[in-house]
Amino acid sequence: MAGINVLLEVPAESGDALEMHSAAVESVTEAERQASAFLADIGGEGIEFEENFTPVPMFAAADGALPQAFVESVQPSNPSLAPTSQTVVLPAEVTRARLSSLQDDPRVKVWPNSALTLFGRRQSVEVARSDGGIDCRPFRDAVTMEVLRDLLGTDALWDAGYRGQSVVVGILDEGVNGEEYPVIGGFARPNAGLQPGAAAITSHGSMCAADVLVAAPSARLYDYPFLGIPRSGGAIQMFQAVLNQWNTDGTPQITNNSYGFVGVPDPAQFPDHEVNDINHPIHRKVREVVAAGVSCFFAAGNCGANCPSGACHVSGIGPGRSIHASNSLEEVITVAAVNSQHERIGYSSQGPGMFHQQKPDIASYSHFFGNFGEGRPGGTSSSAYDNGTSAATPVAAGVGAALLSANPDLTPAELKALLMQSATDLGRTVGWDAEYGEGVVNAAAAYNAMRSAAPLVG
């Protein structure tokens, strides 16, 4: 059936929502049973579900509010508490005729299920290098990971014995190569197109994995390859898998998210689109994950005004337009990109953010030989190097992992505040600005600040 991709939010069954979702992940038959049960009251004619998707429980209400008992119920320290949900989200294709009737049905909320784009290896616009400390094509030469480690000051953490051990970073992407990188689990489902650790070494997810290990070489990875379903519905499923795993054993403590949207739909025509509605299910699910205790790092995007990626739509380029959707949620850590000379890379998206205005939060380093550099498994060409805000974000996430190995009790809000308050200011004005946030991530300064006093939550 050729239809319109949507997310259907419908009333949930009673019971332990996490247990039900886990059962659906493990059994295609159970997933189909649940989907049929959820739609029994509204009928299934004109609706076709994605076969690799499981119904996802929503704990945050339609207005974004989380029940007070949610955080306590999803902690692994409280196995006797069973979190319940009021609604469930199911991605589907619907016919145009059925779409109209669903939109009129008070039991159903129809949301967009929009395509997402990776924020790396997509720069195709040929622009002369800009003046004023901005790096555009032809970009400056890439540097080694050793140069980045010196810039970050990782020795301050490493000499004290903190290299990301006991910390797991979830890579929500197109998949990670588990032969080269330390993938220990992730989202696995019968008949799914991609299992954890099965991606090619040239994958975007493998690049992100390599970049986490720049600052946290002892961290371990979960692979959540949602870009086999490259829409917000696929991302929702992966964030739910993160929440399930967190409920089991308190990992992953961090997720890396180097993707997003590349345009801004007209809010008058598309008010419910992910870019326009802060209470779209994908944003509610991200907020659930952060509230539970998982720090979420998001790439600012590659739609900066100076040399935007060729994937960017004109509606989403430049200041105030290029950081949006989940990347602009206040709760997440949004990361811009600089090169090794502390020049803003001209494609790095610029704030203010469309949801929370003070975005990005920090900047981090891109354009270096990580997974796609000389002597690395992804290639030997000096022109192939890790790039985009896609690469900058996992570098910052790796710093976060190293800090969590030193202080596992840091909450997402505390880790975010620590990274922001210890960042090296790069802007023309003191403090936050729309291009660098609070400045470039500084592992040594963050560690020293953490040792000297409890971080302030800003």
| Tens digit of each residue's pLDDT (9 = 90 or more) over 373-390 | 877 887 777 778 999 999
Residues 159 and 284 both lie in one domain: yes
Angle in degrees, 0-180, between the axes of helices 232-249 and 281-292, rounded to the nearest 10: 20
Choosing from 112, 141, 163, the residue where a domain stops is 112
What was the pLDDT predicted at 376? Answer: 82
CA–CA distance, 339 with 348 (Å, rounded to integer): 11
Q: Is 457 inside any structural domain? A: no
In angstroms, how far is CA 276 from the centroid of its own chain?
18
Neighbours of 160 (CB within 10 A): 13
pLDDT value for 269: 95
Same domain (yes/no): 98, 138: no
396 bridge partner residues? none
Which residues constitute the domain of residue 83?
4-112
Phi (first) and psi of residue 256, to 5 degrees: -110, 130
Domain count along the chain: 2
Instruction: Looking at the structure, tell me whether residues 44 and 140 fall in a common domain.
Output: no
Residues 356 and 312 both lie in one domain: yes
Residues 62 and 190 in one domain: no
Q: Are residues 182 and 77 in the same domain?
A: no
The residues with which 379 forms a beta bridge, in sequence order, are 376
Please indicate, yes or no, whether the overall pTM of this predicted structure exceeds 0.85: yes
State residue 373's pLDDT score.
Answer: 83
Residue 177 sits in the same domain as residue 100? no
The confidence score (pLDDT) of residue 122 equals 47
Q: How are the residues of the chain apportioned to helix, strand and coil, as percentages rounded to the nearest 5?
A: 30, 20, 55
Last residue of a domain, one of 112, 137, 161: 112
Residues 124, 108 share a domain = no
Q: How far apart are CA 402 and CA 261, in angstroms?
A: 29
Q: What tens-digit pLDDT sequence spans the chain (458 residues)?
A: 568 999 999 998 877 889 888 999 988 888 888 888 888 878 878 888 877 788 999 999 989 999 988 999 999 988 778 888 989 999 989 998 899 999 999 999 999 999 999 997 544 444 556 666 899 988 999 999 999 999 999 999 999 999 999 999 999 999 999 999 999 999 988 777 788 999 999 999 999 999 999 999 999 999 999 887 889 999 999 999 999 999 999 999 999 999 999 999 999 999 999 999 999 999 999 999 999 999 999 999 999 999 999 999 999 999 999 999 999 999 999 999 999 999 999 999 999 999 999 999 999 999 999 998 877 887 777 778 999 999 999 999 999 999 999 999 999 999 999 999 999 999 777 899 999 999 999 999 999 999 987 555 54
CA–CA separation, 131 vs 355, rounded Å? 30
The CATH number assigned to the domain holding 227 equals 3.40.50.200
Q: Return the pLDDT at 127.
A: 53
Same domain, 95 and 198: no
